[in-house]
Structure 1
């Protein structure tokens, strides 16, 4: 089978948006005979070009590249934010994160209120599937509140094994390396647990074990949120680095080689999970999704984009999206459809045959586009980021961007590296997009006066 190469992807990015292949379509709008399982894989701080299919030079994402070859790769995928917990708020709620205090970056850092989280009455990705008879599981990083007040079980998940906080040492499984924090380390459901091993392996093992022991009587929706390749920079054989680490941010460590080891270990875990699905006979009736919670960190690759985590340039928010659904999404295809984190809730729930009411969500159901029943939808997407007073809007090929008091207009099709300033050449377009952003922003929550962004400055390297 042919793996999509980066040259082809570059052409796709620059092309007029269109779905680049026909697909095996579903039978009309009828409910599927058997509701599909969902395996939603999200990694942490991965750069756009860290996969082989998006241009990585390391060639160590064998299983993820194959997953793309077996499904569709969306080259215009986005995270809802340039850092993690706001993107996770949007993913869980299907709405712009700025509608909730928990989605204002970074409220879950030092000094955060103990009871911060999504309002309990807010429908979530997990609760919507649970309502439809699914068993719901979260494995990995949560970062949306502390159990048992605002843990995964309080927001629609039946089971949880992972880390409640935003980071963790891969061997000690803690963010507070002194071990004194009351809510820290690994949790199973609402209680702290102890396990030995490399965290990426622990999460992959848990997913494999669930799949091997699952019953076909009830479909499952599994959120598998690896913390890899987030800092600290520890490969699977770097336990000595863990033992000597005193700063969880690991500002003085890491390398491209270590980062690639972390990516490769995560990829091999995905390979074991996909093999378990096949062995169990669940491969054909499982939708597998892969994405990242935001853009690149220190050792990531973002080519052809610029910018990193914490920035609303493309490198901070653009992320590959891979979706495989045998018999419904044609293999070995590339789509230029624009898709963002909050779209996953309405899109994936629609695959059960009982869609959500889209008027209740900011995300859009793109299932018809993905399965070839509809043409690409043009989107207008909005971002803001308190650090640096950043703002961004994408509409078609155009992007409005603001940072540190300066404003730009870019054409992403002609200049994906965001270097050609078009504000003066197209003043009407610039003003139109700026006005649209201001109108949207007026509907969102204001940032708190005590300055979440001040705390954010202490958490970003």
Structure 2
């Protein structure tokens, strides 16, 4: 899982100013999902959905947009994807970003992972590994101080996890959650930028606003692509590629230097650019190579999909709001479904059914055909009033089954006035 990756930030999805050959190879050898969504336009909420297979709004941690300096987290008793696979005999490891609650009450080792090596907060400096509250790099529950560029270090650790599992002849589940290309904008050769940030004494979310460039972003992306290449090479070297499922996706849409074409919007917005994410799955033994799927899917679908692929039972208490994607990935006809989102900043609401999407921003309501009009510019609510009212009612019925929004939760979002100016949605 990449962090803040725009829909067209991979060359196989349209990026033109750099190439991502190793990730592209997954699309060449697997299935490219062109209508894949993140559960949220920000990270903690999507990660809640990914690990639980449920709409994040069913859990207090899922109401965080994202989690910042609050004693909230993924409760250890909540059923999770790694725990299900753990019971089925898999070794489980998280390498990279957690961001679902802090010690002592919350953590990867309390939620089904046998191993954890990475950071617990939303972002860290790529060289100093510092975040808002100080140093943030962990091996299990022990803080570690190692030097290096974080993307490379995560790749190193992921390779070790795979090699160890292969030596033990145990099936494994590895969550490799990169920080890239999340700010701070630092490529492998930008140690001086890291020193500038540290010496400023300012929070990294403030300093990052005047840093970076498209060229730096390209270097961050190419560094991540190289580590994906190392993972794939390791699977080949150990002769386990054919029966290893590799999924590549993002936690939400792109940020400052991202390409979200053909969509508009960005991280924190329920326009397509904030929630549509590039997604690829490769399983040579079972899935066709070089295929594309138009199946509408969401982060929470990976729990039922991977549990089904592993042949693990969906135990009582393991309820999922997602669907098993394997039939469509194997070439079956895409299944119709309805998906829902909400985001507290500007009171955004969204519902997609078929090609139509209901969207509400403040008190402004829209109906878009996101296939024929991916830029979401032609408001069809007056042309198709019955469809508009149906989707609006579907959204209201769904929201009534979720937890109410938490007014104390941090909301990271676009400046309201800027959003209104760009999209003409009120004062």
Partner of 1:157: 113
Q: Is the 8 A contact 1:346 1:355 kept in 2?
A: no
- Report the secondary structure of 1:337's partner residue: coil
- 1:169-220 deviations in Å (ceiling 9; x for gaps): 00011113xxxx37x4101101111111000000001111222233252100
Match of 2:183 among 224, 228, 231: 231
Match of 2:161 among 210, 213, 216: 210
Match of 2:330 among 342, 357, 371: 371
TM-score, normalised to structure 1, is: 0.86
1:68 matched to 2:27? The reply is yes
Match of 1:193 among 106, 128, 144: 144
CA deviation after TM superposition for structure 1 residue 399, in Å: 0.3
CA deviation after TM superposition for structure 1 residue 457, in Å: 7.3
Partner of 2:425: none
Aligned residues: 409
- 1:107-126 deviations in Å (ceiling 9; x for gaps): 6213x12xx22222211011
1:424 matched to 2:382? The reply is yes
- Map 1:244-323 to 2 at 5 A: 244-245=196-197, 246=200, 247-249=203-205, 250-323=208-281
Partner of 2:293: 335
TM-score, normalised to structure 2, is: 0.93
Structure 2: runs of 5 or more not aligned: 420-427
Partner of 2:83: 127
Alpha-carbon distance in 1 for matches of 2:37, 2:152: 27
CA deviation after TM superposition for structure 1 residue 267, in Å: 0.1
Alpha-carbon distance in 1 for matches of 2:227, 2:305: 26
CA deviation after TM superposition for structure 1 residue 147, in Å: 2.8
- Report the secondary structure of 1:378's partner residue: coil
CA deviation after TM superposition for structure 1 residue 260, in Å: 0.7
CA RMSD of aligned residues (A): 1.8
- Report the secondary structure of 1:388's partner residue: helix
Q: Is the 8 A contact 1:67 1:322 kept in 2?
A: yes
Alpha-carbon distance in 1 for matches of 2:164, 2:44: 31
Alpha-carbon distance in 1 for matches of 2:101, 2:220: 26
Alpha-carbon distance in 1 for matches of 2:117, 2:56: 24
Q: Is the 8 A contact 1:93 1:345 kept in 2?
A: yes
Q: Is the 8 A contact 2:18 2:218 kept in 1?
A: no
Alpha-carbon distance in 1 for matches of 2:258, 2:183: 11
- 1:411-439 deviations in Å (ceiling 9; x for gaps): 11211111111011011100000000011
Q: Is the 8 A contact 1:153 1:160 kept in 2?
A: yes
1:433 matched to 2:385? The reply is no
Partner of 2:193: 241
Partner of 2:42: 83
Alpha-carbon distance in 1 for matches of 2:311, 2:112: 20
CA deviation after TM superposition for structure 1 residue 352, in Å: 1.3
- Report the secondary structure of 2:209's partner residue: coil
Partner of 1:92: 51
- 1:258-279 deviations in Å (ceiling 9; x for gaps): 1111000000011011101100
